[in-house]
Structure 1
Amino acid sequence: MALARPADPRASARRDGAAALVVTAAAVALVGVVAGAGAVPALVAGVLGLAVVGAVVRSTTHRRAEPYGPADRVTVARSVLVAVAAALLPLGLAPVLGEAAARPSAAWCWALFAVALPAWLLDGLDGWVARRTGTATSAGARFDQEVDAVLILVLAVAVAARLGLPGAWWVLVIGALRYLFLLGLRLRPGWRRPLPYSSYRRTTAGIQGGTLLGALVPLIPLPLATAAVAVALALLVVSFGRDTVWLERRARGLS
């Protein structure tokens, strides 16, 4: 009796990617209709949402060294939620950008919170699946980190708008630090080495999403939200500072 051939990981990645694109496009279109968005905000929303999922699909389908596995499927599903959250940004920010000292509506904050919360809560699920199935890969871990980084960037933009732009521009640093660090790796090749495990780094990373989500809730007073986000940013700056110092010392051959 012939044994069934195992599924082709690349075929699975393409199939999941196509499904993610379709679901994202449908969700973004529905959100635009329900929100009654104008043509320009709706177009920008569609571009942002599909750009996030498009980057995810490209990452998974072009992977060569390590196979696409069940944990990656969970991350792709999370990326759809992140893409919808990204698509919501222009729908809520359009009125804010047109008026001085304006803030997004409470309904928009709740909508973004409702989409981003499950994306944040499901963050540990892909890692758990990878461990349970014995399919953990470094590519999958990086994939998960990049989806997390996009979610934090989206939340940082939303919270900055709720706290009041341009005064709350500093909140954007929370979302930008990851990408500034990656830029540093390109400019300083000596930093390109694995970082040692750090419980402080792991805890601080988890704090960012929870704090930004809490600050987005309309029931939280603005002064309290501002203070909480400021503390989260300070912790994050220390975390990146510690890692940067460690990498620089190793790059210079110092102990």
Structure 2
Amino acid sequence: MKSVKRLFLVIFIIYLLPTFASAGLWAMKDRPSRWSEARWSSAGILPKAEQSEQAAIYVFSAMTGGLKGAVASHAWIVIKEKGAKAYTRYDKVGWGKPIRRNGYPADAYWYSNTPELVTSVTGAKAEQLIAKVEGAIATYPYAEPGGYTIWPGPNSNTFVAHILRTVPELDAVLPPHAVGRDYLPGDEVVHLDEDWRDLHVTLRGLIGFSAGMRSGLEVHFLGLVAGLDFAKPGIKVPAVGRIGI
């Protein structure tokens, strides 16, 4: 009985306490109450596409709107072919055509929230990877209408995490508040990245863990992620994000 109580105490301290704290801070923020009132224009993070001949791949994440914004973010991926005069953005959304192409500017605010650049690859390496990224987008298994569930997934973060696992050369992991990133397609329970640098184990995105050079050590509980980042020393806090160097 004592061990059960201790387990609940650990879950409360590690997962629920940060989530409640984040929700409280979110409730005090001045934020748009409706979609139509939010800002969706460019945040000015990326240079104009025509200013560089280089190929590029970018992954962004931004806190979402409404009550979900207290604990969850939305991720998307941006591609620019060598010599292209425009970026191409891909989002997975829950309305209309699920894989949205250029629905918003490449580095746009999301529900008025400033996006975080998760990773960027430019130049020759991006040229080599763009076809592989596009292949991962084309083969995403939940691309049809109805292939979206806010929690535990598959959602927008499941889509981008699928690309990052399929193209491990991008060498990135979505932030801890990207709820749905740990949902594996189909009936997959265990996934070892192609380069063997990350192992993912999950039961439908509800409980599991990730371990490796990219993920560090993570434990997942009901879509919330806690763990240690070894590549860039820091801690991963549920609903809050990564804290460290």
- TM-score exceeds 0.5: no
Larger radius of gyration: 1
TM-score (norm 1): 0.30
Larger fraction in helix: 1
TM-score (norm 2): 0.31
